[in-house]
Structure 1
Amino acid sequence: MNKLTQVVFTSFILLTGCAGKAPNLGIENGQLTQCPDTPNCVSSFSNNEKHYIKPIMIKGKRLEIKNDIVNIVNELKNSKVTVTENSYVRAEFTSKVFGFVDDVEFYFPETKSKDTSIHIRSGSRVGYSDFNVNRERVEKIRLKFEVLNVNGSESM
């Protein structure tokens, strides 16, 4: 084997574990799991400015919102919804090249208001930095909800 082939082969073997084991996520005490100290996670429950991201505010019923979340996630590339519950959805996003997995959670607690808060956590399973991929993904999802909300309210 030539040197380049050895480097590529060794890199491939080392990176096959990049998907990492699914972390213990979900809702605890009415909140999503906190982000680790590494800058590869955002959460609407974070008190830390580098991790904080605003929740998505939308009008609608929880079941409709859950269905919208599932549809939006399924439209995005390299995504897979892994958990759907009454007020919670979890999805995995896998990077094309190395197969890194990011876990994205959506939590929409019951409220008496017509507005529903969709709390979000998006974090990488492995590594240190994500080059803002998780934050950009959440903002892309937020934009899709805004478009959906505008188009949905026009048809009423």
Structure 2
Amino acid sequence: MLHRLTALAWASLVSIVLLMSPSASAATLGALPGAASLFAGNAPELGVQEGQLSPCPDSPNCVASQNADADHAIAPLSYSSDRDTARETLLKVLTVVPRTRVVEQTNDYIRFESSSRLLGFVDDGEFYFPAEDNIIQMRSASRVGESDLSVNRRRMEQIRLALQDLGV
């Protein structure tokens, strides 16, 4: 009789597969039933409320340029061009960030999702363009788990460097 695997049993199975077969790929794991949905988590309610992005949870897998303590804080992005140019350039940069897709955009807000290559963990990122400043507030957090090994911080800093390289 087949039983459904619990999340813990599933994670153990994936670990065993990876240990037994170092050449296991995302395609191999993706063929296992429920692999993508197990690690993707559910999309949180995000957005701008009263000019602020949501604060980070207590877990270390989040960075934010607003409402953040020292462990979660990241500087906002600054730009010297006009807001529309900065926004369009940021959208172009996001098209080359691996496994990333824009899921929502308005004149002053961009939301994206990035997934990990191997197990499909999903991180949610946001950019907010306040009208009165030449800055872009940002936030990026993992949907599930405790640690992200600083992936969210590195991704946002790489986006910062790309915008700087493009002269925005």
With the length of structure 1 as denominator, give the TM-score of the two structures: 0.84
Task: Name the counterpart of 1:130.
Answer: 148
Write the distance in 2 (CA, Å) between the matches of 1:124 and 1:89: 17
DSSP-derived class of the 1:29 partner: coil
Residue equivalent to 1:24:
45
| Residue 7 of structure 1, CA deviation | 3.1
SS in 1 for 2:57: coil
Q: 1:8 and 1:127 mapped to 2: Cα distance? A: 16
The aligned residue for residue 106 of structure 1 is 127
RMSD, aligned CA = 2.1
Is structure 2 residue 111 aligned with structure 1 residue 90? yes
Q: Flag structure 2 segments of 5+ consecutive residues without an equivalent.
A: 1-11, 18-31
- Quote the residue 1:3 is aligned against: none
1:54 aligned residue: 75
Deviation of the 1:31 alpha carbon: 0.5
Identity %: 39
AA aligned opposite 2:49: E
Match of residue 146 from structure 1: 164
Equivalent residues, number? 142
- Provide the TM-score with structure 2 as the length reference: 0.78
Secondary structure of the corresponding residue to residue 95 of structure 2? helix
Structure 1: runs of 5 or more not aligned: 1-5
Which structure has more strand as a fraction of its residues? Answer: 1
